[in-house]
Amino acid sequence: MATVALPSDVRLMNGVSTAVFALAGVTLAAAGVLWLVRAPWFPVRAIQLEGDLQRSSVTTIRANTTPRLKGNFFSFDLGVARAAFESVPWVRHAVVRRVWPDRMAVRLEEHRAAARWEGEDEEEKLVNDFGEVFEANVGDVEDEGLPLLAGPEGRSAQMLAMLRRLQPLMQRLDRELMELHLSGRGSWRAELDGDTAVELGRGSDDEVVARADRFVRTFAQVNGHFKSPLLYADLRHPDGYAVRLRGITTTAAASAPQRSN
């Protein structure tokens, strides 16, 4: 059987027709998928919460997130949904995923409060165990005796690290570190239980901790004669420190605090 070649213009028309039909098919398929996604079918019927939730109640989560969750199983925005859950008080991080055919699974990580925070605006917030400042109801932790960190914005992580280094030192004095302050000029001050203040001064973190360690190691010897509770200590002296003890009176000629080298 003989094969007859088609003219080039006919072959061109056939190729164009095939391309047009293919493009039309792709367009119709895309339109169908878009219509299916936007259709009122496939609603999200349940939200599955995962994670160790201590502070966040289902009621609070629902009230903060439901108004912001739009769309069906295919069309809801994962980023928007994540932001909605992370706006819930006490929620630090959220991971959102779809679970076929009609569920949204959400894994929540809560903040773990490590300290209270007082910034330059004097508004009390909280610091988590990563050193991050977050907003939540401070009344939720009133009974937990969290220490207070007070300092410049952006220094919360450094202050939490310093707190953790100083706490075991002050416990060797049988005192609890209740407040840690950092001035804008970088000077540290610790407030202990029993209305005791300790001026730690400026310097690198290691230098400040070294001064505190020297004070703790030698204070028992300094106080051995008086055996009086400590009211105030000033560690900013290059050659020692000064202390004020409860109940110790001084004459005008000896009005300076007791001093140790």
Q: Which residues contact 175 (CB under 8 A, 6 or more apart)?
A: 192, 193, 194, 196, 230
> Among residues 73, 1, 78, which one has the least CA distance to residue 40?
73
User: Does pTM surpass 0.85?
Assistant: no
Six token digits for residue 167: 């706490």
Quote the pLDDT of residue 12: 54
Six token digits for residue 154: 């952006």
Residuewise pLDDT in 10s, the chain (261 residues): 545 454 555 455 555 555 554 454 445 444 444 555 555 677 888 999 999 899 999 999 999 998 999 888 888 899 999 999 999 999 999 999 999 999 999 999 999 999 999 998 878 899 999 999 999 999 999 889 999 999 999 999 999 999 999 999 999 999 999 999 999 999 999 999 999 999 999 999 999 999 999 999 999 887 777 788 899 999 998 888 999 988 774 333 333 444 444
CA-to-CA distance for 11 and 146, rounded, in angstroms? 82
Burial (CB count within 10 angstroms: exposed 0-12, middle 13-18, buried 19+), residue 228? middle
> Among residues 134, 132, 119, 131, which one has the least CA distance to residue 55?
134
Quote the pLDDT of residue 142: 87
Domain ranges of the chain: 46-110, 113-260
Quote the pLDDT of residue 250: 38
Quote the pLDDT of residue 71: 85
Which is it for strands 148-150 and 113-118: parallel, antiparallel or unpaired? parallel
> Among residues 103, 105, 128, which one has the least CA distance to residue 94?
105
For domain 46-110, the CATH class is: alpha beta
Which CATH code is given to the segment(s) 113-260?
3.40.50.11690
Please give the helix or strand (H or E) that residue 207 lies within, else none: helix 205-222
Asked if 201 contacts 175 with a C-beta cutoff of 8 angstroms, the reply is: no
Inter-CA distances, 27 with 32, 44, 239, Å: 8, 28, 83
CA-to-CA distance for 152 and 184, rounded, in angstroms? 6
